[in-house]
Copies of this chain bind each other. A is one copy, B any other.
Amino acid sequence: MRQRQGRAARSVSRRALLGGAGAGLAIGAVGAVAGERALAVRRPDGTPDLGTAAVPFHGPHQAGILQPPQACAHLAAFDLAPAAGRDGLRTLLRTWSATAARLAAGGAADGQENQIALDAGPCSLTVTFGFGHSLFDKAGLADRRPEALVPLPAFPGDALDPARSDGDLWVQIGADDALVAFHALRVLQKQAAGLAVPRWQMSGFARTPGATPHPMTGRNLMGQVDGTNNPKPTEADFGAKVFADGPAWLAGGSYAVVRRIRMLLDDWEGLPTDRQERVIGRRKADGAPLSGGADATERTPVDLAATHPDGTLAVAPDAHIRVAAPASNGGAAMLRRGFSYQDGLLADGSPDAGLLFVAFQADPARGFVPVQRRLARGDGLARFLRHEASGLYAVPPGAPEGGYVGQPLLEG
């Protein structure tokens, strides 16, 4: 077992500040930078309780973007019922928003009746809503659809299942307790009855708070530290990278790209660790870039020009971190906030497991699209991945107290 940090260091918990390095959000109090707030009842020693930690639903941005990924997540898409129209959509979003706000504060969905997740606090529950391209026609809002909300292009190697892709409405639920997350999903599904039909649903996970001795970027199922180079809320251009500035109803919102990326783990795990590290461009143990030498840490900046004594590049030409780097993509950046998934075994005995990739960005044309274009062609990691589902959603800004998500679109 590894050395523990002292108590003073521990009290600066990733969940407490909602902006530790847990999700690659790096060090820095997101609350101060980006207008988010955090409530967490703390024990006398300063650590917050997992159960009582709460993320307010209301605010300038929706919850579930700036917070580290929670231990349990559900992603779900719904299609608007044919008869629902704009009024039905308004009813649904109003109901969903009110419910999400109550649950996020630790309250009951609709009175104590039939509450599943009694006992627990909100466990950092967040619920995030997004609108797909197809929603706007069905809701009579085609003239208000953002220009940037065009279906993603096909990428080389894509093997997308339409039944698990797209959708009119997207919901991201995260909580540090599985029963709390399940309860929120159930309640929102039931409230959709008659207004929207479930299209697909996926479940994932990230580290449980306290599992690792110190705040650290998450690991994916390949065992690799994943998310280090995410934009940091402390950086001056963070908002410009992550939050949309228009149209007016979307200002302060974002675009979410969602991809179900299966990992070919049998192939990957057949590689020795040094080969895996070369494919990624980082050490497996601590995520330090291969350009940084023995003393490097995860936080050591990547030097894409660094060479070995023999003149070869320290970070290989096809290394994932080189091909994905903003410097390789005209500055394109996005805030990744994915979850791992495992859905058992496929018919051939290989694991049906990988990454529920979720990335927030100000404009997909300056985020996911150019990066994935390069990755699909030149990334040494691509041969270990299968993109099996895909979605793009406009994520409205947060709602103020008394308002609901999407109100400026529907009533503006």
Contacts and interface: CB of A to CB of B under 8 A. Distances in A.
Interface of A: 1-2, 4, 7, 10, 41, 43-45, 49-52, 54, 71-72, 106, 112-121, 123, 176-180, 182-183, 185-186, 189-190, 197-198, 201-203, 205-213, 216, 219, 221-223, 265, 269, 272-273, 276, 284-285, 340, 342-345, 349, 351, 353
A186 B265 contact: yes
Contact of A43 (B7, B112, B180, B212): B7
Contacts of A185: 342
Given A222-B116, A273-B114, A340-B182, A1 B209 contact: no
A118 B285 contact: yes
A178 B208 contact: yes
Contacts of A197: 349
A269 B212 contact: no
25 contacts: A1-B52, A1-B54, A1-B121, A4-B52, A49-B210, A50-B210, A114-B269, A116-B222, A118-B284, A120-B211, A123-B211, A178-B207, A178-B208, A178-B340, A179-B207, A179-B219, A182-B340, A182-B342, A186-B265, A186-B351, A197-B349, A198-B349, A201-B344, A202-B344, A208-B208
Contacts of A183: 223
B176 A211 contact: yes
A210 B117 contact: no
A199 to B, nearest CB: 10
B106 A219 contact: no
Q: Which of A41, A179, A221, A265 has the most CB of B within 10 A?
A: A179
B116 A178 contact: no
Contacts of A179: 205, 207, 211, 219, 221, 340
Contact of A116 (B117, B221, B272): B221
A198 B346 CA distance: 11
A338 to B, nearest CB: 13
Contacts of A345: 198, 201
A190 B265 CA distance: 11
A61 B132 CA distance: 53
A112 B274 CA distance: 12
Q: 6 closest A-B pairs (Cβ-Cβ)? A: A50-B210, A177-B211, A178-B205, A116-B223, A119-B212, A120-B211
A51 B213 CA distance: 7
A167 to B, nearest CB: 13
B209 A50 contact: yes
Given A44-B45, A273-B113, A208 B123 contact: yes
A112 B211 contact: no
Given A182-B340, A273-B114, A351-B186, A207 B120 contact: yes
A69 to B, nearest CB: 11
Contact of A44 (B7, B207, B221, B349): B7
Given A114-B223, A176-B208, A205-B72, A52 B265 contact: no
A206 B179 CA distance: 7
A189 B266 CA distance: 11
Contacts of A177: 71, 207-208, 211
Most buried by B among A106, A201, A276: A201
Contacts of A272: 113
Contacts of A189: 351
Contacts of A178: 71-72, 205-208, 340
